[in-house]
Structure 1
Amino acid sequence: MLLSALGFFLAVISIIGMYFYLKPGLPSVEILREVKLQTPMRIFTQDGKLISQYGVKRRIPVSLDDVPETLVQALIATEDSRFYSHIGVDPIGVGRAFLNLITTGERGQGASTLTMQMARGFFLTKEKKFSRKIRELFIALHMEQELSKDEILELYLNKVELGHRAFGFGAAAQVYYGKNLKQLNLAQLATLAGLPQAPSVLNPISRPERSKERRRIVLLRMLDEGYINRQQFDEASQAPVTAKKHGAELALDAPYLADLIYNEMVEIYGKEIAETSGFNVFATATYDMQKAAQEAVIQNLHDYDERHGFRGPLAQLWEPLERAVAKPVAVVDGIEQGNPSPVELPPRINKNAWSIEKVTAYLDSVEEIDPLLPAVVMTVQEKSVDVIIADGRMIQLVWDGLDWARAYIDDQTQGDEPEVAADILQEGMLVYIRKRPQDDVWQLGQLPDAAGALVALDPYDGSVKAVVGGYSFYKSQFNRATQAKRQVGSNIKPFVYASAIGNGYTLASIMNDAPINQWDSSSGVAWRPQNSPAVYEGPIRLRVALGMSKNVVSVRLLRGVGIDETVDYISRFGFDKDDIPRDETLSLGSGSHTPLEVVSGIAVLANGGFAVRPYFIERIENDLEELIWQAQPVYACNPCDDESPELEQVLNESDIEARLAAQFSQKLGRNSQKKKVKQSAQQVISSQTAFLVTEMMHSAVKANGNWNKKTFWLGTGWRATNLLQRDDIGGKTGTSNDSKDTWFSGFAGNLVATTWVGFDDASRQLGRASRNQNLVNKNPEKFNWIGNALIGTEAGAMSAQPAWIRFMQEVLKDQPQVPKKNSRRYYPG
């Protein structure tokens, strides 16, 4: 034993000698101090509301002053009780480990100090080799010489891996408890302090029992060290495990918007830098507008889906009891035979029914698709049903939440209105339910088959104020607002009419609204474009023709201007020439464009003729919340004589953030200099042409003329003015052949927006909906205006426009109307 001890001390002396010999080659103090913690990229709305977070490693840096003393005590007691007295290597711990080695022949775990753990975490691997251990000792000694104890502890608190991709205790508090460190109690802090030893097997989510035992060990060490008393130990050790997995605390989950920004950041910075540099990226969209857009798209798709009928349950979990059927009453000589009055029967017990425990366990495995919750029907009454959801709550769906659900037969046909709940649901059915946002009533739901999109922007600088690419990003990451090129139908007409106005036509120009029958000798088929509906007015002014969306007039205008001239003119609005058909179907919207392209074109009309560029990122900050990049858009003004806001940034060109910011600006074609006069966007059409087309679009969204004088007529988008009760709006409906794509695009206040509804399967028609008297009875004064009570063939005004109206109703409710004399739309600049 004496020889062993002597050998141990000789080894220690040799190691110390080796340390001083190798010290010049160890990591410098500057490297240690400048080790940059990998922190995720966070994306905010323009007004600072968190909408997403990207990065494999979740990290919330904390300073030592922000860490509860209890956590520090728990760590020191458990991991390194002599932390503040040793030199980076604990001789007592090393001696204990060495003794264990020579007595058992096995390498133990008890010799590492917090400093050694830090050395391993920053610079080494976890392999159990003597060579690695010696390097770990050297780096630990070096760290103790160059850094203070508090600096080492703070690095440890922010660096250590704690499971579920949480690095550092700030992130762990959020991941496991959804709180910051100062909000945690003793039991929770002790749980976190027990994680560094083996986060994968000791964490309270995956292994709650092992975590609870580890917590007890931590509390015992704290009791032994005098940090807590026996009462605190008893209370904390007996406390229930309260941890569950939490994501980032999002003010709004806006994945389609966040994904656009994330991809733009990755394109410029690269994936690793974008995800680990702690960027705070601020969108051009505001919280209120983005939220309103998402709710409008979701509600509109539910409205479409529900007026076409209920497609049935997701599954039938058990066989229900046979539905009781009333016996017919015979009438003999005018006297009813039998008992016509209802008889109270005792409730029947279904022995096939699952227990509540089995039902809730099953529901845990069924996907939630916000705002839809999976539920199982437990009982069916005459006009209501009771369902249970995954957390065990029993919810009653009253008739008001069921009466929409007539049977879906196909896209063109629906069944009869239900009369009782049993016409719709049976016991044991797995269904979706949702809470209506307008009145908090729970109702039967289903995942919409149709898809939708909405994009809104400021027409004067191109900043995107809201973007929604579908019903659920988690079901389909395909962003229909920016990626789906779909036939635009009559949404192309404002641009065709602009071409005509730009080539000498006026709002009062008379065109012949009469059928066209043109023989095509090359195909042997006559082309007969028709109005929808097939009503022809004869001579008609352009203002009325656009407002009533007369197809044949659009064709005649194209012929009058010429196809090549029209294609060139329409391309000024930002449409790719390759996507514009070079035949007469162009005038009816046979070309395919994305909603973002369409709304960008509408912006040119709304802002007086300037081609602003859509952009999604307003500014970028580094992890210290210092501004490193600010968008410098071009504006719809000429001249632009006022200066843009001064950027508060002083960056060295050798700084990586400065260089990356410069790359970002160069890539996007925008300026990031410290001070710059506003740049004017290119004026692609005259302000006079823009004014005249928007005047026609005003007429397209309201009732016009005088009924008594027989001059009354409705624009195809008349519901917009009826529901918004504003005079500063204009727009255009759009429907492709066979109602496969439906659109509405327009302006209101100082916003432009486009909505689209269709199926992802471009060959599928949106169909038609027959009258559902149950829905009409609920709100007869608004029947056929907006919502799921609409009837008839699906078209732009019926399918897409309601989402546009809902969005504008919400975002403009507190905004005054914009008089023409004050609107930049008419007096750009």
Structure 2
Amino acid sequence: MSWFKKLIIFVFIAFLVGVGGIAGTYFWLRADLPDVATLKDVRLQTPMQVFTADGELISQFGEQRRIPLRLDEMPPLLIQAFLATEDTRFYEHPGIDIIGIMRAATVVATSGELSQGASTITQQLARNFFLSREKKLIRKIKEIFLAIHIEQLLTKDEILELYLNKIELGHRAFGVGAAAQVYFGKTVQELTVDEMAIIAGLPKAPSVLNPVRSASNARARRNVVLGRMLDTGAIDRATYDAAIAAPVTSRLHGAQITASAPYIAEMVRQQMVDRFGEEVAYTEGFRVYTTINSKDQAIARRALQQNLYDYDERHGYRGPVAELWQSQLQQSDAAEPVFTEKNRPEPAEINAYLDRQQGIEDLIPAIVLDVKQQSAMVLLKGGQLQELSWDGLKWARSFITDERQGTAPKTAAAILKPGQHILVRQQDELWRLSQIPAASSALVAIDPKDGAIRSLVGGYSFAQSQFNRVTQAKRQVGSNIKPFIYSAALEHNYTLASLMNDAPIHHWDAGAGIAWRPRNSPAVYDGPIRIREALAKSKNVVSIRLLRGIGIDATIEQLLKFGFSATDLPRNETLALGSASSTPLEVVTGYAVFANGGFLVQPYVVDKVLNAEDKVIFQHQPLLACEACQETDGETPIQAAPRVISAQNAFLIADALKSSIWGGGDWRQGTGWNGTAWQLQNLRRRDLAGKTGTTNDSKDTWFSGFNSDLAVTSWVGFDDANRSLGRALWNANLGREQSAGAESGARTAMPAWQSFMRQILPAYPEKTVTPPVGISSVRIDLTTGLLSRSTDHTSSFEFFKLGTEPTQYVSGSVPQVQFGENNQQKQELEELF
């Protein structure tokens, strides 16, 4: 009995010492323990996501990939997989597992090493939020105290939800939602049992056990998890057997991008970093909604790419990417050629080679296996055999220079040989030989009413070049500048009916000792011509004469109103021909002034930003093109964009630019004429206006056009500003399919604009444009621009700003002409009559 009393006393003293030791340790460490109350308001580091206006995901930015989920959004079986593996008694213990701790203590006592963690889910949560992963006793003690505090502060479900969203699972995936996406490209609801087990096995060593790093390690760990799930009754034997037999297949997946707009995504990323700083922008779970429409964006991207393919095919085939083996063609009596091949790789080697090759956009790597008379058999990356028919090959005459192409091929053997690594693409069910376009392009569409960017494509491929040509490429604008020159003319007593002399200019520069002889393109001169017709036909010499009549200072002053920078505008007469350099975004902003009635709107792409709690923390307030904006939209005042030109000036230029498409005169009477954009007539929209643009030597080509709903600019050129787009010679294989001749705004840039508008215009019903107050319409004589009483093909109605209408009727005398230069022009013009 005395020994029993002594034992009781010893146990009691040991208990008191233990409690005292624990209490002492707690008070000793208390100052170093973090405040677990912060878990009540925890902000998980969540990447920034960028969306289109209609909710499609464009991109995701942030080092930590996380998709926060509520516990009730996670499959119960996935939760059971984690509990079975990490903490079977999670819902029973107070935050620490005494049995597990005793087991770990035994290992420490026997080996001297802390090899078993014995950490509960609550302890792991404490470590992940507040502590390091170092295996030291003091860290374990802190972990225990923090776990007990957490259990007092949060419910079990709250702890488990935080853990499953916080846990690191490899490859920058944090939480089960991100892991499902990164490893399997799925949501958690789409995971199979074996995939759930793989994810549940990752917390032990995510960098080693993940299925991308090692399928064998992932399989072994998965099987352990499945065994624990079977032991705990989470799954039955049949489910276990099926999951054990499942192969481990995984690869890295990015965010589930549903709209391709990488140039927009980069613009947004930079704006968000500028606004919030890099650390905040990438971790606070911001959701950025842009002004982009996903369907219009897809149409714009495809229109730009197809236009570049068309340009590239006009200029010839530059040859294969590489040659895997050489083939020698031997002609025999057989109908098909016979090849003698040396060192030809085995099929498995060819497939392995293709697996290592990267395609770009819709271009797919392929190997030529066989060439017949007018077709070729190729092996695509992925193992598919595909025949290239003659229709997909016949364009491919050889590229010589930008100005010259080889003769049209007659056989497939003149184009391809077995063993060549080529690129192919599928277009309208037809497989075509292709190549990465050499030229570059940009296309941007904005809403002229408020500047919202609806579509933007900054190049052929963001993967190829991240240089955004819409916002960063300052290129000479060519004849795209002319509407702004003509706008200045209307402010200086010219009208659309004013006559100018379309005749060659010979200007002697005494200082340089040379004569400047600017020419029309093409070099056709019509003599006396009305300003409307001169603008529609893009007459260079008329633009120069107008500049002389207005004066360079007055012209530049007018151009600045449209948002152009003074440093980009040369102070000489080449300004009239488009020697100024601007970005496509600056150009389309200027054209939007004509589209909206005279207001300068500011382009923008970020509409609103929401934080992780769905609260709007930023809402863009655009400047609207409206005459009186005292109204309010709810509690938000509507802000007016500045009026920079009169409504009358904007209307007159916009109406004149419609003549670029529809021309004028009477074709039945032999007086009809076309503007430079006459091909757009097949869009059958009378509300469209536009202007072509081509610089010297076709180094830059443009088309800008608009209606009241959209202003769109298309540009094509080489990134090397010194390289000309050249010309395409006639290809006998293509017939009417081709577009031969020198590259120009109408031939090179306008097709992308046309393709884009053709597909999106049905969403924008045609609207009748009503002339603003202060505009009159009178019948004029088409030859002289004077008033006319005739109602036949010699006359037509013309718009004028009130007070600028002609006051004389046409007679047999020399017409009244506006000169604005000097008496030499008057003399030249009089000689023409």
Output the TM-score relative to the length of structure 1. 0.89
Distance between the aligned counterparts of 1:474 and 1:345, measured in 2? 41
The residue type paired with residue 501 of structure 2 is N
Distance between the aligned counterparts of 1:815 and 1:450, measured in 2? 31
Distance between the aligned counterparts of 2:764 and 2:564, measured in 1? 31
Aligned to 1:736: 695
Aligned to 1:324: 330
Deviation for aligned residue 1:223: 1.6
**Counterpart mapping for 1:58-207 below 5 A:** 58-207=65-214
The residue type paired with residue 48 of structure 1 is G
Identity %: 52
Aligned to 1:702: 662
Deviation for aligned residue 1:814: 4.2
Aligned to 1:222: 229
* Post-superposition CA distance 1:57-97 (Å, at most 9, x none): 11111111111111111111111122222222222111111
The residue type paired with residue 413 of structure 1 is R
Tell whether the 8 Å contact from 1:26 to 1:142 is kept in structure 2 after alignment: no
Q: Closer, same or farther in 2 for the Cα pair 1:390/1:465, shift >3 Å?
A: same
Aligned to 2:60: 53
The residue type paired with residue 507 of structure 2 is Q
Matched, 1:410 2:359: no
Deviation for aligned residue 1:184: 1.2
Tell me the SS of whatever aligns to 1:289.
helix
Q: Closer, same or farther in 2 for the Cα pair 1:65/1:418, shift >3 Å?
A: same
Tell me the SS of whatever aligns to 2:545.
helix
Matched, 1:598 2:587: yes
Deviation for aligned residue 1:628: 2.6
* Post-superposition CA distance 1:12-59 (Å, at most 9, x none): 862354226655763334311112001111111111111111111111
- Of residues 794, 797, 802, the one that matches 2:746 is 797
The residue type paired with residue 748 of structure 1 is N
Distance between the aligned counterparts of 1:175 and 1:138, measured in 2? 34
* Post-superposition CA distance 1:325-373 (Å, at most 9, x none): 36xxxxxxxxxxxxxxx53579656352212211121122222211111
- Of residues 358, 380, 388, the one that matches 1:367 is 358
Distance between the aligned counterparts of 2:772 and 2:197, measured in 1? 61
Aligned to 1:630: 619
Tell whether the 8 Å contact from 1:23 to 1:142 is kept in structure 2 after alignment: no
Tell whether the 8 Å contact from 2:451 to 2:604 is kept in structure 1 after alignment: yes
Tell me the SS of whatever aligns to 1:364.
helix
Tell whether the 8 Å contact from 2:448 to 2:711 is kept in structure 1 after alignment: yes
Matched, 1:609 2:598: yes
The residue type paired with residue 764 of structure 1 is R
Aligned to 2:442: 453
- Of residues 555, 560, 579, the one that matches 1:566 is 555
Matched, 1:530 2:519: yes
Bigger CA drift: 153-162 or 32-41?
32-41
- Of residues 731, 736, 742, the one that matches 1:772 is 731
Matched, 1:440 2:389: no
Distance between the aligned counterparts of 1:7 and 1:108, measured in 2? 27
* Post-superposition CA distance 1:76-134 (Å, at most 9, x none): 11111222222222221111112112222322133111111111111112122223222
* Post-superposition CA distance 1:382-433 (Å, at most 9, x none): 2221222221111221112111111111111111112121111111111111
Tell whether the 8 Å contact from 2:648 to 2:774 is kept in structure 1 after alignment: no
Deviation for aligned residue 1:514: 1.0
Q: Closer, same or farther in 2 for the Cα pair 1:678/1:93, shift >3 Å?
A: same
Aligned to 2:641: 681
The residue type paired with residue 277 of structure 2 is G
Matched, 1:428 2:419: yes
Distance between the aligned counterparts of 1:521 and 1:614, measured in 2? 44
Matched, 1:754 2:709: no
Distance between the aligned counterparts of 1:719 and 1:299, measured in 2? 18
Distance between the aligned counterparts of 2:715 and 2:236, measured in 1? 65
Distance between the aligned counterparts of 1:824 and 1:569, measured in 2? 22
The residue type paired with residue 681 of structure 1 is A
Aligned to 1:400: 391
The residue type paired with residue 747 of structure 1 is F
Aligned to 2:768: 819
Aligned to 1:576: 565
Bigger CA drift: 130-139 or 52-61?
130-139
Aligned to 2:367: 376
Aligned to 1:691: 651
Distance between the aligned counterparts of 2:775 and 2:209, measured in 1? 66
Aligned to 2:306: 299
Matched, 1:288 2:301: no
Deviation for aligned residue 1:229: 2.2
The residue type paired with residue 245 of structure 1 is L
Tell whether the 8 Å contact from 2:477 to 2:695 is kept in structure 1 after alignment: yes
- Of residues 516, 524, 540, the one that matches 2:505 is 516
Distance between the aligned counterparts of 2:22 and 2:306, measured in 1? 71
Distance between the aligned counterparts of 2:325 and 2:258, measured in 1? 40
Tell me the SS of whatever aligns to 2:570.
coil
Deviation for aligned residue 1:597: 0.2
Tell me the SS of whatever aligns to 1:454.
strand
- Of residues 33, 37, 42, the one that matches 2:40 is 33
Q: Closer, same or farther in 2 for the Cα pair 1:113/1:162, shift >3 Å?
A: same
- Of residues 655, 670, 675, the one that matches 1:715 is 675
- Of residues 344, 356, 359, the one that matches 1:353 is 344
Distance between the aligned counterparts of 2:16 and 2:749, measured in 1? 82
Bigger CA drift: 678-687 or 27-36?
27-36
Aligned to 1:336: none
Gaps of 5+ in 1: 327-341, 647-674, 784-788
Tell whether the 8 Å contact from 1:642 to 1:678 is kept in structure 2 after alignment: yes
Q: Closer, same or farther in 2 for the Cα pair 1:34/1:824, shift >3 Å?
A: farther
Q: Closer, same or farther in 2 for the Cα pair 1:60/1:494, shift >3 Å?
A: same
Distance between the aligned counterparts of 2:256 and 2:282, measured in 1? 18
* Post-superposition CA distance 1:142-181 (Å, at most 9, x none): 1112111111111000000111211100111111122211
CA RMSD, 1 decimal:
2.3
* Post-superposition CA distance 1:170-224 (Å, at most 9, x none): 1111111222112212111001000111111111112111100000010111122
Tell whether the 8 Å contact from 1:608 to 1:824 is kept in structure 2 after alignment: no
Tell whether the 8 Å contact from 1:728 to 1:818 is kept in structure 2 after alignment: yes
Distance between the aligned counterparts of 1:240 and 1:626, measured in 2? 43
* Post-superposition CA distance 1:718-740 (Å, at most 9, x none): 1112x312111111111111110
Tell whether the 8 Å contact from 1:749 to 1:817 is kept in structure 2 after alignment: no
* Post-superposition CA distance 1:592-648 (Å, at most 9, x none): 00000000000001111101111111112122323232221111111135432x4xx
Distance between the aligned counterparts of 1:823 and 1:377, measured in 2? 63
The residue type paired with residue 406 of structure 1 is R
Tell me the SS of whatever aligns to 1:700.
helix
* Post-superposition CA distance 1:501-525 (Å, at most 9, x none): 1111100011111111111122112
The residue type paired with residue 607 of structure 1 is N
Output the TM-score relative to the length of structure 2. 0.89
Aligned to 2:798: none
Distance between the aligned counterparts of 2:614 and 2:338, measured in 1? 65
Aligned to 2:487: 498
* Post-superposition CA distance 1:759-813 (Å, at most 9, x none): 001110000001123222xxx3xx5xxxxx1110101111100000001001113
Bigger CA drift: 626-635 or 613-622?
626-635
Q: Closer, same or farther in 2 for the Cα pair 1:129/1:792, shift >3 Å?
A: same
Q: Closer, same or farther in 2 for the Cα pair 1:344/1:719, shift >3 Å?
A: closer
Bigger CA drift: 101-110 or 801-810?
101-110
